[in-house]
């Protein structure tokens, strides 16, 4: 559409330009440019044409007017005597004067023997033909008539050309120029006068100087003479290019010189200018928007270029070109380009404004509402509900695969959400989304809906070449609250879901307190290491057959000065979320290794390692350093790794594990059987030990549960891996596991997690009591 308008405007501009050119409104500019061009390439006259002027001096000398024709007779005689070639009178002899004088002149003409010519003026007879003001018949019998008409440019009333002949009822009359110059080449019916001829070099004589013999006849010999009125008072004047006002005979002499020089000029008028402008317009229309400065420069350069071309055309190609239309055309085009540019900028500003408005209420990458956009929606009078959704593991992904991959993942997630057809979707935080809608008061329905969404949207996402398993968790809230409050509640519920390691959590007022506590712990954890509030407990691990102490698992405790003892189950996920687990993990490894280096050589220390540590720190270097500092042999360190959904880059975990194995460190799967990963994962990684999760150990309610336990132990045995049963709380369980072939046991039955001093006491005690056979 825009393009059509552009074409329309340019065509209109070209039409205006044509109108300007044809109406003569550009004439003044053309006149100046044309004159300037003529002045640059002056042409020398032939020197064979002489103008004898009835000038003011002659008029003064003679004293009367009109002159008796006897004077013309004498002049003619004198010229013929001097041996001139031709004499053409640009004087009106169409009416009779006194008979005697006319007879004298007739005689002189006769004496001239056909080398004298008399002016004839053609004019419209008003009936479509031409009538001539011819010389009197008695003169015409002796001297041929020559046409002295010139043609004026209608736009500026300046002489520019003359017809080479004209015909009336009495026959054809050739022009004075044609008669005197007698060109040997074909001449067009109308000839452009070449006003570049240097008229200062044209020989001009005073009538009376010639008449009274004051001119050397030798000068006149062989010349062609034009006699005519040169004095202002005689009013035989024309406006001409470059030279301004010229008398009739001078104009005729210039025409004669034009033909003598053999210069037939073609007048192309405005055509080249219009064509060039059209061409420029075409370029402007077809090129995609270039800078206005460039367009300006191009147009600026084309102005002198046009003039140079016009000059070249005139000097070398004998072409007369009116360049004003080109210049005006260029200006017009520049104006249009400016307007076009201005319009584009206006459109650009409008688009930017629209985008700004969009961005104020939307999230650009996903196109969903922003938090503010969701709040700004026209509010519903119904009670509202909000479900907050969060893909898990995005922080780890951001660290391992980069921001762009995560952004694309989130955009994909947003699109899936949209496809599911939920209205009023928003991205309320970098990786938190929300959907809002009317609440029908059915809490069960809302919970089912949240569960449905997390199930539908959890799964594999393909981003670039990555195949990512993403788990979605949800927090929801509903009730007689305004939208901002509901959004806050849903977010609180989301945090709670994450802390509880559940997928969906509905907001309850207790969550606020939990949230507060969560925030508090989050804030205080960093200072806890430095403040010495963290300490390590050790829970003994027993060889089930001999019931001897073979090692201990390091378990962290936080003595919060105000909140009391805080479980690692609560603060470890927090440390994982904030990344503090990296520093914390390093500290535990160093402490545990140092402690264990003082134990008997048979004792292994087990340390829990979070999956985050695998992905964000150089775990191999950290472990190597801890071993080096403590002097603990690597085979006495066992790292416990839980199977986790938070593993976003299994390849990295795998390489690290193999490096640790090469180091000689032992590896165990913690909480085996509850995790997310497949048995293939388990098979392909270099684990030495399987820690059977407490839930399998403690729940022996059915024969099936026992069978499952037995199967896990058998599986590990076949894979040549040790088994550690966690959570043994009584002898019966210990005995059962022993029977089933489980290697080691750990649990309250043997000992709760204890400070290191207590562990050492137990060791001491053990060395004093004999082991079971």
Nearer to Mg ion, 236 or 726 (CB): 726
Binding at 753: pick from Mg ion, ligand C2E, none (beta carbon under 5-8 Å per type)? ligand C2E
Judged by CB under 6 A, the residue of 439, 524, 649, 670 near ligand C2E is 670
299 φ, ψ (degrees, to nearest 5): -70, -35
Which residues are CB-contacts of 594 (< 8 A; sequence separation ≥ 6)?
A: 629, 630, 632
Q: 542: closest CA among 667, 719, 726?
A: 726
Q: Is position 340 an interface residue for ligand C2E (rule: CB under 6 A)?
A: no
Q: How far is the CB of 634 from Mg ion (least distance, A)?
A: 19
Strand partners, 118: 89, 145
Nearer to ligand C2E, 112 or 588 (CB): 588
Alpha helices, DSSP H only, in 670-769?
A: 679-684, 694-698, 703-718, 731-740, 756-768
Nearer to Mg ion, 391 or 753 (CB): 753
Question: Looking at 350-358, 425-433, 603-611, 754-762, which segment touches ligand C2E (CB under 6 A)?
Answer: 603-611
Instruction: Please list every residue from 667 through 696 that binds Mg ion, using CB under 5 A.
Output: 670-671
Question: Looking at 289-297, 575-583, 633-641, 695-703, which segment touches Mg ion (CB under 5 A)?
Answer: 633-641
Q: How far is the CB of 720 from ligand C2E (least distance, A)?
A: 23
Q: Is position 572 an interface residue for ligand C2E (rule: CB under 6 A)?
A: yes
Q: Is 490 helix (H, G, I), strand (E, B) or coil?
A: helix
Helix (H) or strand (E) holding 499: helix 483-499
Nearer to ligand C2E, 492 or 610 (CB): 610
Q: What is the DSSP string of 74-121?
A: HHHHHHHHHT-SEEEEES---S---HHHHHHHHHHHHHHTT-EEEEEE
User: Three-class SS string for 502-550?
Assistant: CCEEECCHHHHHHHHHHHHHHHHHHHHHHCCCEEEEEEEEEECCCCEEE
Which residues are CB-contacts of 172 (< 8 A; sequence separation ≥ 6)?
A: 165, 166
Q: Is position 555 an interface residue for ligand C2E (rule: CB under 6 A)?
A: yes
Q: What number of other Cβ atoms are within 10 A of residue 378's Cβ?
A: 4
Identify the DSSP state of 255.
H
Count of residues touching Mg ion (by CB under 5 A): 5
Instruction: Please list every residue from 685 through 744 that binds ligand C2E, using CB under 6 A.
Output: 694, 726-729
Q: What number of other Cβ atoms are within 10 A of residue 330's Cβ?
A: 21
| Site track for ligand C2E across 612-651, x = CB under 6 A | ----------------------------x-----------
Q: Is position 638 an interface residue for Mg ion (rule: CB under 5 A)?
A: no
Q: Is position 257 an interface residue for Mg ion (rule: CB under 5 A)?
A: no
Question: Looking at 135-143, 179-187, 463-471, 568-576, which segment touches ligand C2E (CB under 6 A)?
Answer: 568-576
Question: Looking at 6-14, 128-136, 306-314, 561-569, which segment touches ligand C2E (CB under 6 A)?
Answer: 561-569
Q: How far is the CB of 395 from ligand C2E (least distance, A)?
A: 17
Binding at 567: pick from Mg ion, ligand C2E, none (beta carbon under 5-8 Å per type)? ligand C2E
Nearer to ligand C2E, 143 or 556 (CB): 556
Burial class (CB in 10 A: 0-12, 13-18, 19+), 301: exposed
Helix (H) or strand (E) holding 281: helix 271-286
Instruction: Please list every residue from 580 through 599 that binds ligand C2E, using CB under 6 A.
Output: 588
Q: How far is the CB of 537 from ligand C2E (least distance, A)?
A: 7
Q: What number of other Cβ atoms are within 10 A of residue 36's Cβ?
A: 12
Q: Is 68 helix (H, G, I), strand (E, B) or coil?
A: coil
* CB half-sphere exposure, 283, CA atoms < 13 A: 12
Question: Residue 313 and residue 309: Cα distance in Å, rounded?
Answer: 6
Q: Is position 578 an interface residue for ligand C2E (rule: CB under 6 A)?
A: no
Judged by CB under 5 A, the residue of 363, 640, 643, 649 near Mg ion is 640
Which residues are CB-contacts of 629 (< 8 A; sequence separation ≥ 6)?
A: 590, 593, 594
Judged by CB under 6 A, the residue of 112, 205, 309, 556 near ligand C2E is 556
Q: Is position 194 an interface residue for Mg ion (rule: CB under 5 A)?
A: no
How far is the CA of 115 from the CAs of 103, 207, 524, in angstroms?
A: 18, 19, 127
| Site track for Mg ion across 702-731, x = CB under 5 A | ------------------------x-----
Q: Is position 610 an interface residue for ligand C2E (rule: CB under 6 A)?
A: yes
Name the residues that contact Mg ion, by CB under 5 A: 608, 640, 670-671, 726
Name the residues that contact ligand C2E, by CB under 6 A: 539, 554-556, 567-569, 572, 588, 608-610, 640, 670-671, 694, 726-729, 746-748, 753
């Amino acid at each position: 559409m825009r393009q059509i308008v552009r074409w329309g405007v340019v065509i209109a501009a070209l039409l205006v330009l044509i109108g300007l050119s044809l109406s003569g409104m550009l004439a003044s500019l053309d006149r100046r440019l044309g004159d300037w061009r003529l002045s640059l390439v002056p042409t020398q006259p032939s020197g064979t044409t002489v103008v004898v002027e009835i000038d003011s001096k002659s008029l003064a000398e003679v004293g009367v007017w009109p002159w008796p024709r006897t004077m013309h007779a004498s002049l003619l005689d004198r010229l013929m005597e001097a041996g001139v070639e031709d004499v053409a009178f640009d004087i009106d002899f169409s009416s009779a004067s006194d008979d005697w004088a006319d007879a004298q002149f007739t005689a002189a003409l006769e004496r001239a023997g056909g080398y004298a010519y008399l002016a004839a003026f053609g004019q419209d007879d008003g009936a479509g033909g031409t009538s001539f003001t011819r010389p009197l018949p008695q003169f015409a019998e002796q001297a041929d008539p020559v046409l002295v008409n010139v043609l004026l440019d209608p736009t500026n009333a300046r002489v520019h050309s003359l017809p080479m002949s004209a015909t009336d009822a009495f026959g054809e009359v050739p022009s004075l120029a044609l008669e005197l110059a007698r060109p040997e080449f074909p001449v067009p019916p109308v000839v452009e006068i070449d006003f570049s001829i240097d008229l200062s070099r044209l020989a001009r004589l005073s009538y009376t100087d010639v008449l009274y013999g004051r001119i050397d006849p030798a000068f006149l010999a062989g010349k062609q003479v034009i006699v005519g009125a040169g004095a202002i008072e005689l009013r035989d004047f024309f406006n001409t290019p470059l030279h301004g006002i010229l008398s009739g005979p001078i104009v005729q002499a210039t025409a004669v010189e034009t033909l003598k020089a053999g210069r037939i000029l073609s007048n192309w008028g405005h055509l080249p200018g219009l064509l060039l402008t059209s061409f420029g317009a075409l370029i402007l229309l077809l090129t995609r928007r270039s800078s206005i400065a460039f367009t300006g420069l191009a147009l600026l350069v084309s102005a002198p270029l046009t003039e140079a071309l016009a000059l070249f055309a005139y000097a070398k190609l004998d072409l007369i070109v009116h360049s004003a239309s080109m210049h005006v055309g260029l200006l017009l085009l520049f104006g249009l380009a400016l307007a076009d540019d201005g319009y584009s900028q206006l459109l650009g500003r409008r688009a930017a404004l629209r985008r700004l408005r969009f961005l104020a209420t939307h999230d650009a990458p996903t196109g969903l509402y922003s938090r503010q956009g969701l709040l700004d929606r026209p509010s519903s009078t119904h009670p509202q509900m909000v479900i907050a959704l969060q893909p898990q593991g995005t922080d780890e992904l951001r660290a391992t695969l980069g921001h762009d991959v995560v952004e694309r993942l989130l955009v994909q997630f947003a699109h899936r959400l949209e496809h599911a057809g939920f209205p009023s979707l928003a991205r309320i935080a970098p990786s938190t989304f929300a959907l809002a809608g009317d609440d029908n008061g059915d809490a069960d329905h809302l919970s089912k809906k949240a569960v449905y969404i997390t199930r539908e949207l959890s799964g594999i996402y393909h981003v670039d070449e990555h195949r990512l398993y993403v788990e979605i968790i949800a927090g929801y809230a509903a009730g007689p609250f305004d939208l901002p409050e509901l959004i806050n509640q849903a977010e609180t519920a989301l945090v709670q879901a994450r802390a509880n390691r559940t997928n969906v959590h509905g907001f309850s007022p207790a969550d606020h307190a939990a949230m507060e506590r969560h925030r508090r712990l989050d804030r205080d954890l960093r200072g806890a290491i430095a403040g010495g509030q963290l300490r390590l407990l050790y829970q003994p691990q027993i060889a089930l057959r001999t019931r001897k102490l073979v090692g201990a698992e390091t378990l962290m405790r936080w003595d919060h000065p105000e909140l009391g003892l805080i479980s690692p189950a609560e603060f470890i996920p927090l440390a994982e979320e904030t990344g503090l687990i990296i520093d914390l993990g390093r500290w535990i490894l160093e402490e545990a290794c140092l402690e264990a280096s003082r134990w008997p050589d048979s004792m292994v220390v087990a340390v829990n390692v979070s999956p985050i540590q695998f992905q964000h720190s150089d775990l191999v270097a950290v472990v190597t350093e801890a071993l080096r500092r403590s002097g603990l042999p690597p085979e006495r360190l066992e790292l416990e790794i839980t199977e986790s959904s938070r593993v976003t880059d299994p390849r990295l975990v795998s390489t690290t594990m193999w490096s640790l194995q090469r180091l000689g460190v032992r590896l165990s799967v913690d909480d085996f059987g509850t995790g997310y990963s497949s048995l293939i994962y388990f098979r392909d990684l270099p684990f030495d030990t399987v820690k059977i999760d407490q839930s399998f150990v403690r729940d022996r309610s059915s024969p099936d549960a026992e069978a499952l336990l037995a199967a896990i132990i058998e599986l590990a045995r076949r894979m040549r891996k040790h088994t550690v049963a966690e959570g043994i709380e009584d002898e019966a369980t210990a005995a059962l596991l022993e029977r089933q072939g489980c290697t080691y046991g750990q649990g309250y039955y043997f000992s709760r997690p204890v400070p290191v001093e207590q562990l050492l006491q137990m060791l001491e005690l053990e060395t004093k009591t004999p082991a079971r056979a």
